[in-house]
């Protein structure tokens, strides 16, 4: 697998940090999730831990700090999701860990970055988007801004960008033999992944004005929008180019040569499209547009997406290790590297504590004493009720 041999420490968190760790684990990295002893909340909500191992330790104790420093001294990457200053208070800041392991890539994922007026403030995806400028662009015309769930900041501008930054730092390390600190702000990451929106503001073909929902790609046109069908489902239309718009009109039974059907006749055609799409079911429209290259596709829900013929032939979806949840397969597909398995179990908090401690030099007697003193926790899967 592509990242075999890469050793990653991931401090337990939610959304961006686990996603970053999953991306690395999916392609072969050895990822150890460091769980806080007794904290079940994060681990219960973390559904992005497949293929990782877990050690559960109490970082408020000196012995646990020593364990973490030993782990860090042998790691290539540390993924840290806390507010600024937390790791420093624990004695695990970059100046300590990089002094002990100069090759360590210390990735710090936070809402607003390691400094600045907002750095110590709490926040969530919607807040990071709001100050990035991106949230103002989402939503229908004459309506309030609408958050696109937590994809843009937590996952695109957070976990995905962090994985990219980590691999970039590892590539540089091949030349310098030195690690470094990565200061990833989810707010800044959101702005960065929306770079095209910023750099295209002077293109009148894209932006018709300053209002959201009135532009080329945000539902402001009839040829780039969604339409309800007679069965209450939806079709997605993205016929931007004239040749595809012509195909769209033909599929809808409209004359492409009629000036009333012009691509520039936005308001009237939007009403026309709304009326036409409601005359047939989603299945009927899908069958019609299978015969046209019109950029018109069904809006599929969680279940129907995995049943779509194209997705099935490409093996784009599978089920998790319990066969009870549909999950996407890793992307992209590599031509040489082994494809990752998504059927690896989610680790229980502390499931691999003893195994990991032995790997970094602790004896069985040492481990038993650490368990007895409640410094670490070991959980055996066979005895768990989870």
352 close to 54: Cβ distance less than 8 angstroms:
yes
Whether 50 and 81 share a structural domain? yes
pLDDT above 70 as % of the chain:
97
| pLDDT given for residue 44 in this prediction | 75
| Mean pLDDT, residues 19-34 taken together | 95
> Quick check: helix, strand or coil at residue 228?
strand
pTM assigned to the model: 0.92
Q: Which residues are catalytic?
A: 124, 154
| pLDDT given for residue 341 in this prediction | 73
Residue 304, domain member (yes or no): no
Whether 99 and 175 share a structural domain? yes
DSSP line for 345-370 = PPPPTTTTHHHHHHHTT--HHHHHHH
Whether 32 and 169 share a structural domain? yes
CA angle at residue 219 from 213 to 225, to 5 degrees?
165
51 close to 79: Cβ distance less than 8 angstroms:
no
Domain boundary among 299, 334, 360: 299
Give the count of domains, the chain.
Answer: 2
Whether 125 and 234 share a structural domain? no
- Buried b / exposed e over 366-385, threshold 16 CB at 10 Å, is ebeebbeeebbbbbeeeeee
| Mean pLDDT, residues 38-62 taken together | 86
| pLDDT given for residue 321 in this prediction | 65
Is residue 92 scored above 90 in pLDDT? yes
Grade residue 384 by pLDDT with cuts at 50, 70 and 90. very low
CA separation for the pair 268, 260 (Å, rounded): 8
Whether 29 and 130 share a structural domain? yes
Whether 23 and 88 share a structural domain? yes
Whether 185 and 117 share a structural domain? yes
For residue 150, the domain's CATH number is: 3.40.50.10540
Residue 127, domain member (yes or no): yes
Whether 124 and 261 share a structural domain? no
For residue 350, give Cα distances in angstroms to 53, 374, 378: 8, 12, 5
| Mean pLDDT, residues 49-71 taken together | 95
| pLDDT given for residue 322 in this prediction | 65
Of 120, 119, 87, 116, residue with least CA distance to 104:
87
Whether 188 and 77 share a structural domain? yes
Whether 170 and 268 share a structural domain? no
Grade residue 382 by pLDDT with cuts at 50, 70 and 90. low
Residue 201, domain member (yes or no): no
Q: Which helix (H) or strand (E) is 16 found in, with range?
A: helix 16-26
| pLDDT given for residue 204 in this prediction | 84
| Mean pLDDT, residues 286-303 taken together | 96
| pLDDT given for residue 318 in this prediction | 86
Residue 217, domain member (yes or no): no
Residue 200, domain member (yes or no): no
Residue 204, domain member (yes or no): no
CA atoms within a 13 Å half-sphere pointing along the CA-CB vector of 273: 29
| Mean pLDDT, residues 109-113 taken together | 97
Domain boundary among 299, 314, 331: 299
Residue 232, domain member (yes or no): yes
pLDDT above 90 as % of the chain:
77
Lowest mean pLDDT among 96-105, 321-330, 342-351, 355-364: 321-330
| pLDDT given for residue 385 in this prediction | 43
186 close to 160: Cβ distance less than 8 angstroms:
no
For residue 273, the domain's CATH number is: 3.30.1540.10
Residue numbers of the domain that contains 11 = 7-193+322-377
Whether 161 and 22 share a structural domain? yes
Token pair of 188 as six digits = 């800044």
The mean pLDDT of the chain is: 92
| Mean pLDDT, residues 139-164 taken together | 94
Is residue 326 scored above 90 in pLDDT? no
Model confidence pLDDT, tens digit, residues 224-280? 999 999 999 999 999 999 999 999 999 999 999 999 999 999 999 999 999 999 999
Whether 11 and 124 share a structural domain? yes
| Mean pLDDT, residues 366-380 taken together | 93
| Mean pLDDT, residues 173-200 taken together | 95
Residue 202, domain member (yes or no): no
């Amino acid at each position: 697998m592509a990242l075999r041999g890469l050793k990653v420490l991931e401090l337990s968190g939610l959304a961006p940090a686990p996603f970053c760790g999953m991306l690395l684990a999916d392609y072969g990295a050895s990822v150890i999730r460091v769980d806080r002893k007794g904290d079940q909340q994060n681990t219960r909500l973390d559904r992005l831990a497949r293929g990782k191992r877990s050690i559960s330790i109490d970082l408020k104790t000196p012995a646990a700090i020593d364990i973490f420093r030993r782990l860090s001294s042998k790691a290539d990457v540390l993924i840290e999701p806390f507010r600024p200053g937390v790791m420093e208070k624990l004695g695990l800041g970059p100046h300590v860990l990089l002094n002990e392991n100069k090759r360590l890539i210390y990735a710090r994922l936070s809402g607003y970055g390691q400094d600045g007026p907002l750095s110590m403030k709490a926040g969530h995806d919607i807040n990071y988007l709001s100050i990035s400028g991106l949230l103002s662009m989402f939503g229908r015309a004459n309506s309030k801004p609408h958050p696109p769930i937590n994809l843009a900041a937590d996952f695109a501008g957070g976990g995905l960008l962090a994985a990219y930054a980590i691999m970039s730092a590892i590539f540089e390390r091949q030349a310098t033999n030195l690690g470094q600190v990565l200061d990833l702000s989810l707010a800044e990451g959101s702005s960065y992944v929306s770079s095209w929106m910023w750099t295209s503001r002077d293109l009148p073909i894209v932006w018709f004005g300053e209002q959201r929902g009135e532009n080329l790609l945000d539902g402001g046109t009839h040829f780039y929008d969604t339409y309800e069908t007679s069965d209450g489902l939806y079709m997605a239309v993205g016929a931007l180019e004239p040749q595809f718009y012509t195909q769209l009109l033909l599929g809808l039974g409209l004359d492409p040569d009629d000036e009333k059907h012009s691509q520039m006749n936005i308001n009237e055609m939007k009403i026309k499209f709304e009326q036409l799409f409601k005359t047939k079911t989603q299945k009927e429209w899908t069958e019609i547009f299978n015969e046209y290259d019109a950029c018109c596709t069904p809006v599929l829900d969680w279940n129907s997406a995995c049943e779509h013929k194209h997705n099935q032939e490409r093996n784009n979806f599978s089920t998790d290790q319990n066969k009870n949840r549909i999950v996407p397969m890793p992307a992209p597909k590599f031509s040489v590297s082994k494809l990752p398995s998504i059927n690896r179990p989610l680790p229980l908090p502390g499931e691999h504590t003893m195994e990991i401690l032995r790997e970094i030099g602790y004896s069985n007697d040492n481990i038993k004493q650490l368990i007895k003193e409640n410094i670490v926790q070991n959980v055996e899967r066979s005895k768990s009720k989870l």
